[in-house]
Chain A
Amino acid sequence: MTSSDSAPKKTPLYDRHLKAGAKIIDFGGWLMPVQYSGIVDEHHTVRNAVGVFDVSHMGEVFVRGPQAGAWLNSLLANNVRRLCPGQCQYTFLLNENAGVIDDLLLYRTAPEEYLLVVNASEIDKDVAWLRAHLAPGVELEDKSDDYAGLAVQGPRAVQLFERLFGDRHQPPARNEIMRIDTDCLTLLIARTGYTGEDGFEIFFAPEHAAAVWDDLLLHGADLGIKPCGLGARDTLRLEMCYPLYGSDLSLDRSPLEAGLSFFIDLEKPEFIGRGALLAQRTAGVSQRLVPFRMTDKSPPPRSHYGVFKNGEKIAETASGSLSPSLGAGIGMAYLPAAFARAGEAIEIEIRARRYPAVVEKRPLYRK
């Protein structure tokens, strides 16, 4: 977390958050809203209506040039060649050991232009890694300070899009990104998110952040829109078993161990980490990230709680929370491969007491 060494940063919506009654926390060097009306209320708002999250802290890195796609393909684990202009994929930046430097969304914004949206706390590390591997014919630009971002998530997000742009534009298809130019600003709008609900992520110049925020809340008012914070973002993503970098992913874990092989392409030629991934695939991973669910009444599990099987500690939890949708404690943990299968009974230790849980399939929550 390189950016947390200095004074915490504010997004261009900081004052809007205070006005909306947000509780603010330091998140990877950023002063971010953790909640407004309450985590549970905001969670249900996204599952049932529509919520808006400030994601301005996320990093935006552009890569351009005739060799941009080929170069990215040598650094990212998913196959960049499968992306047509306007499409997006989830992917990883890996080191030689296949440890995850960051997980990110890669958007092909033009035939020879890509946008990488990376975790806020990892921006400096990612950009340094990318620059260290830069090749001819590739231009790299860290535009993180020049973009604000909003995630509009929930089953009514499309209705809101239609109200704002429906007279001129169709919404982008799932995992696609489009550019919309209005009289005063340019918006990059992607049909992506981190909640498991339909919705959009919108990127634009920070000087317009307050106006766009106000517009969304105004036009979404009768749809039940509410501002939502990092607390709900975490419960929503955990119900879907989307990994959180720093908790579920790190330099010490590979995407294979994390159960994310769908997002790596071992068939494509050389990329950093491929050798280690192939070796892991051949040998089989010794631990795998799996979701679990508490089966009895228990305190909510949290990260770094002990996981027990047959009286022995076999792991620590990576993530944990109460699931507002399921009304039960849920989490994820890297378990020894022998126990990393759905239906396996385990125990989670919470303040020196063990509570029963069961390994589940992904996702933990289905509509």
Chain B
Amino acid sequence: MNVPDDLKYSKSHEWLRIEGPNGRVGITDHAQAELTDVVYVELPKVGAKVEAGQPVAVVESVKAASDIYTPVSGTIVEVNTALESNPALVNTDAFGGGWLFVVSVDAAPELDQLLAPAAYREQIA
């Protein structure tokens, strides 16, 4: 399983890429493989205030709906509208075109609660 070195990870299988004051969030390669064919993605509203660990998006496969949690608290600044017409991007490009949302990082110490790549690799091993 691909676990890029430049990302932070949550125990619930989201990744976060730091982009200036914001974090871009998606689900990991491991998570997309477990969820299987993604057929629908429900995204948060831009401007929504969210708290770390709160379910903010839903990824649906043929078989099940899975909550996606924001790894950090902040405000949703952007969502990936490309997923509306092509939800399978979550499967085919989990760390790229399959990103879900961008959230402002309001409480930087929360980033320290996230897993480093090595620790996440250990979790899914």
Residue numbers of A with Cβ under 8 A of B are 23, 34-35, 38-41, 231, 235, 297-300, 302, 321-322, 324, 351
Mark the stretch among B5-13, B33-41, B45-53, B75-83 that contacts chain A: B33-41
Q: Are B65 and A299 in contact (CB under 8 A)?
A: yes
Q: Are A39 and B36 in contact (CB under 8 A)?
A: yes
* Residues of A close to B65: CB separation below 8 A: 299-300, 302
Chain A interface, DSSP helix/strand/loop, else mixed: mixed
Known: A231-B63, A300-B62, A324-B62. A40 touches B42 (CB 8 A): no
What are 9 A-B pairs with beta-carbon distances under 8 A?
A35-B36, A38-B36, A38-B37, A39-B37, A39-B62, A40-B37, A41-B37, A231-B36, A302-B65
* Residues of A close to B36: CB separation below 8 A: 23, 35, 38-39, 231
How far is it, in angstroms, between the C-alpha of A351 and the C-alpha of B39 when the chains are bound? 16
Q: Are B39 and A322 in contact (CB under 8 A)?
A: yes
B58: CB under 8 A from chain A? yes
Instruction: Find the B residue at minimum CB distance from A298.
Output: B40
Known: A38-B36, A40-B37. A299 touches B63 (CB 8 A): no
Instruction: Find the B residue at minimum CB distance from A23.
Output: B36
Q: Are A235 and B62 in contact (CB under 8 A)?
A: yes
Q: How many A-B residue pairs have CB under 8 A?
A: 40
How far is it, in angstroms, between the C-alpha of A50 and the C-alpha of B101 when the chains are bound? 40
Q: Are B60 and A351 in contact (CB under 8 A)?
A: no
How far is it, in angstroms, between the C-alpha of A297 and the C-alpha of B40 when the chains are bound? 9
* Residues of B close to A35: CB separation below 8 A: 36, 63
Q: Are A40 and B62 in contact (CB under 8 A)?
A: yes
Known: A38-B36, A39-B37. A322 touches B62 (CB 8 A): yes
How far is it, in angstroms, between the C-alpha of A235 and the C-alpha of B60 when the chains are bound? 15
Minimum-distance CB pairs A-B, first 3: A39-B62, A299-B40, A322-B39
How far is it, in angstroms, between the C-alpha of A35 and the C-alpha of B61 when the chains are bound? 12
* Residues of B close to A321: CB separation below 8 A: 62
Instruction: Find the A residue at minimum CB distance from B61.
Output: A39
Nearest CB in chain B: distance from A42 CB, A: 10
Contact with A along B74-102 (1 / 0, CB 8 A): 00000000001000000000000000000
How far is it, in angstroms, between the C-alpha of A347 and the C-alpha of B99 when the chains are bound? 30
Nearest CB in chain A: distance from B66 CB, A: 12
How far is it, in angstroms, between the C-alpha of A324 and the C-alpha of B63 when the chains are bound? 12
How far is it, in angstroms, between the C-alpha of A351 and the C-alpha of B43 when the chains are bound? 13
How far is it, in angstroms, between the C-alpha of A264 and the C-alpha of B62 when the chains are bound? 33
Instruction: Find the B residue at minimum CB distance from A297.
Output: B84
Known: A299-B58, A321-B62. A351 touches B40 (CB 8 A): no
Q: Are A300 and B58 in contact (CB under 8 A)?
A: no
Q: Are B40 and A300 in contact (CB under 8 A)?
A: yes
* Residues of A close to B39: CB separation below 8 A: 40, 300, 322
How far is it, in angstroms, between the C-alpha of A235 and the C-alpha of B84 when the chains are bound? 22
* Residues of A close to B58: CB separation below 8 A: 299, 351
* Residues of A close to B63: CB separation below 8 A: 34-35, 39, 231
* Residues of B close to A322: CB separation below 8 A: 39-40, 60, 62
How far is it, in angstroms, between the C-alpha of A316 and the C-alpha of B58 when the chains are bound? 21
Checking B40, B42, B62, B84 against A231 with a beta-carbon cut-off of 8 angstroms, the contacting residue is B62
- Given contact pairs A35-B63, A39-B61, A299-B42, enumerate 12 new A-B contacts (beta carbons under 8 Å): A23-B36, A38-B37, A39-B37, A40-B37, A41-B37, A235-B62, A298-B40, A299-B65, A300-B65, A322-B39, A322-B40, A351-B58
* Residues of B close to A231: CB separation below 8 A: 36, 62-63
How far is it, in angstroms, between the C-alpha of A10 and the C-alpha of B65 when the chains are bound? 27
* Residues of B close to A297: CB separation below 8 A: 84
Instruction: Find the A residue at minimum CB distance from B41.
Output: A299
Nearest CB in chain B: distance from A170 CB, A: 37
How far is it, in angstroms, between the C-alpha of A284 and the C-alpha of B37 when the chains are bound? 42
Instruction: Find the A residue at minimum CB distance from B34.
Output: A23
How far is it, in angstroms, between the C-alpha of A40 and the C-alpha of B42 when the chains are bound? 20
How far is it, in angstroms, between the C-alpha of A299 and the C-alpha of B64 when the chains are bound? 11
* Residues of A close to B60: CB separation below 8 A: 299-300, 322
Nearest CB in chain B: distance from A299 CB, A: 5
How far is it, in angstroms, between the C-alpha of A40 and the C-alpha of B37 when the chains are bound? 7
* Residues of A close to B37: CB separation below 8 A: 38-41
Most chain B CB within 10 A, of A302, A322, A324, is at A322
